[in-house]
């Protein structure tokens, strides 16, 4: 556990997340041999709140709500929002375009992956807007859904990205595109972890400090079990990919709307894909639809 008497330079040098943390508190480099407490006091940052975030992220150690200064924590979270919206997410989108667009031009998959990413960003914008308005209770289940969507994008690339079909040279067995893809996958993974930590801080530190509630118990991410789609589920999937509504699908397949909704839930659960763009990628790769028939 880090304490106020520990040197700030040791914290930054040994903990990967420390640079992110100090920047979100408005602290800067050049800390010399000063202690954590001395640096926090110099920047008018509440030391116990700073240590609460550090020890939560490094050791997963929760704190007593009385130790938290609410304005300090809210500034930290607000700076994190700005970082996501103004820097990390736009930069990640540019990197994603650079890495996946050189794929085989006859496939629509890169564009669909990008559409999934844009939907994810819009969900984060909405999520952050509600956080800034203090509407925690209305959207307490958004956190996991948004994190799951980023996981879905990562998995779509892993499973279905068609590649650029570039021939590597003898001296360089990997093309520059391969290096870009490796880099963007690393960025996706770190963004996923960063946003999950951000949401956990809100649930386990900010919310209890505001309401004196007990911290939430977060479920561990579990790997989904892959199941085969039934023939009827494949039929429903094809109609979804072609843009039909639930009622239209019911009419085409001569089943009830309720049954269509049930099939769609099963499809999402079995494939662990929840976006239409992601389902379209699955249908193309598994030859359930002709790519030329899609708009």
66 domain residue, yes or no: no
- One domain, residues 105 and 147: yes
- One domain, residues 96 and 152: yes
Number of domains in the chain: 3
C-alpha–C-alpha distance, residues 11 and 67, integer Å: 20
- One domain, residues 167 and 245: no
User: Which one, of 4, 10, 1, 2, lies nearest residue 46 by Cα?
Assistant: 4
Domain extent, residue 279, equals 231-293
CATH number of domain containing 250: 1.10.10.10
H/E stretch holding 217: none
State the pLDDT at residue 25.
95
- One domain, residues 79 and 42: no
Phi, psi torsion values for 35, nearest 5 degrees = -80, 165
Of the three residues 17, 33, 61, the one that is the final residue of a domain is 61
State the pLDDT at residue 41.
96
* Residues near 21 by beta carbon (within 8 Å), at least 6 away in sequence: 50, 53, 54, 57
- One domain, residues 242 and 173: no
User: Which one, of 130, 154, 153, lies nearest residue 142 by Cα?
Assistant: 130
State the pLDDT at residue 60.
83
264 domain residue, yes or no: yes
CA end-to-end span of the chain: 56
219 domain residue, yes or no: no
Q: Long-range pairs for 259-263 at CB < 8 Å and ≥24 separation? A: 260/236, 263/232, 263/233, 263/236
Q: How many CB atoms lie within 10 A of CB 144?
A: 14
- One domain, residues 82 and 134: yes
110 domain residue, yes or no: yes
Tokens at residue 9, please?
């330079």
Interhelix angle 276-285/257-271, rounded to 10 degrees, is 70
- One domain, residues 35 and 55: yes
Of the three residues 211, 245, 264, the one that is the final residue of a domain is 211
- One domain, residues 200 and 100: yes
C-alpha–C-alpha distance, residues 282 and 276, integer Å: 10
- One domain, residues 32 and 99: no
- One domain, residues 262 and 136: no
Of the three residues 211, 240, 259, the one that is the final residue of a domain is 211
State the pLDDT at residue 289.
86
- One domain, residues 160 and 186: yes
State the pLDDT at residue 33.
96
257 domain residue, yes or no: yes
- One domain, residues 198 and 121: yes
State the pLDDT at residue 175.
62
Global pTM reads 0.78
220 domain residue, yes or no: no
| Spans of the chain, pLDDT less than 70 | 63-65, 103-105, 134-143, 163-177, 212-226, 295
Write down the H helix ranges in 202-245.
207-211, 231-241
C-alpha–C-alpha distance, residues 133 and 149, integer Å: 23
194 domain residue, yes or no: yes
Q: Mapping DSSP to helix (H, G, I), strand (E, B) and coil, where does residue 101 land?
A: coil
138 domain residue, yes or no: yes
State the pLDDT at residue 3.
94
- Which DSSP state fits 138? G
User: Which one, of 238, 235, 225, 229, lies nearest residue 289 by Cα?
Assistant: 238
State the pLDDT at residue 257.
93
């Amino acid at each position: 556990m880090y304490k106020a008497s520990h040197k700030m330079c040791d914290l930054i040098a040994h903990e990967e997340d420390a640079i992110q943390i100090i920047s979100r508190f408005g602290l800067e480099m050049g800390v010399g041999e000063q202690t954590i407490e001395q640096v926090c006091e110099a920047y008018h940052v509440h030391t116990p709140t700073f240590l609460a975030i550090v020890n939560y992220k490094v050791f997963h150690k929760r704190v007593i709500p009385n130790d938290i200064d609410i304005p300090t924590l809210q500034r930290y979270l607000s700076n994190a929002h700005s970082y996501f919206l103004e820097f990390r997410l736009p930069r990640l989108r540019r990197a994603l375009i650079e890495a996946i667009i050189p794929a085989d031009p006859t496939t629509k998959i890169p564009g669909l992956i990008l559409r999934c990413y844009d939907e994810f960003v819009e969900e984060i914008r909405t999520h952050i807007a509600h956080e800034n308005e203090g509407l925690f209770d209305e959207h307490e289940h958004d956190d996991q859904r948004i994190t799951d969507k980023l996981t879905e994008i990562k998995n779509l690339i892993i499973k279905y990205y068609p590649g650029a079909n570039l021939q590597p040279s003898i001296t360089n067995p990997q093309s520059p595109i391969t290096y870009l893809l490796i880099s963007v996958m690393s960025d996706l993974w770190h963004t996923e972890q960063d946003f999950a930590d951000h949401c956990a801080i809100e649930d386990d530190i900010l919310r209890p400090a505001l309401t004196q509630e007990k911290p939430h118990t977060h479920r561990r991410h579990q790997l989904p079990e892959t199941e085969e789609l039934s023939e009827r589920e494949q039929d429903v999937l094809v109609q979804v990919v072609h843009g039909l509504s639930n009622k239209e699908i019911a009419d085409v397949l001569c089943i009830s709307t309720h049954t269509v909704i049930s099939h769609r839930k099963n499809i999402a659960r079995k494939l662990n894909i929840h976006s239409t763009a992601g389902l379209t990628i699955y249908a193309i790769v598994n030859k359930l639809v002709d790519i030329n028939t899609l708009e």
